[in-house]
Amino acid sequence: EIDEIEVHDSDTSDLSDCVEIGEIVEADSVSGEEDESESDCSSDDDDEVKSHDDEALDDTNSSTVASKEITKKIYIPGQSRPLKEGEELVCDKTAYVMLSSFYTDYPCLSFDPLPVKAPGSDTKCSFPMDVMLVSGTQASHPMRNRIHVMMLGNL
């Protein structure tokens, strides 16, 4: 089971360059599942002995399940399962080095960054950051559409 996928390329259709971080499954919980399937095929005489073992196994499995944390998975549109009714996506702010928000008067399909180099700065990431974005709106009436050239600074 995959907990997280870190995508290094902006194209998510090719996930061959991804780093996968998997969950380590304890050997006891894996062997416990096999023991339960084997107990279905046993004779009646073995059921009495197995029932005591199964109770101990259930105690072990319940403590294993209680000690596991909730796994987080990255949602990739078109590749992840559809959201169930009542489910919602939650932003994990620990995944970002910097996260800022802003609003436009009408929806925009994309924001294209333009290179901005402040005087005396190098090409490495350093805070505060500046970015220039270009976007086009999609208003309900064509006369209200706009092209935005935005300078976001001191981020």
Residues 133-149 have pLDDT tens digits of 999 999 999 999 999 99
pLDDT band at residue 20 under the 50/70/90 scheme: very low
pLDDT tens for residues 62-121?
Answer: 555 555 566 777 788 888 888 889 988 888 888 888 888 888 899 999 999 987 776 666
Are 61 and 11 found together in one domain? yes
Collapsing DSSP to helix, strand or coil, 133 comes out as strand
Structural domain containing residue 52? 2-67
Say which amino acid occupies 141. Answer: H
For the question of whether the overall pTM of this predicted structure is more than 0.85, the answer is: no
How many Å is the Cα radius of gyration of the chain? 26
CA distance 52 to 31: 17
Q: Give residue 140's pLDDT.
A: 92
Q: Give residue 100's pLDDT.
A: 83
103 part of a folded domain: yes
pLDDT tens for residues 33-56?
Answer: 444 444 444 444 444 444 445 555
88 part of a folded domain: no
- The count of structural domains within the chain is 2
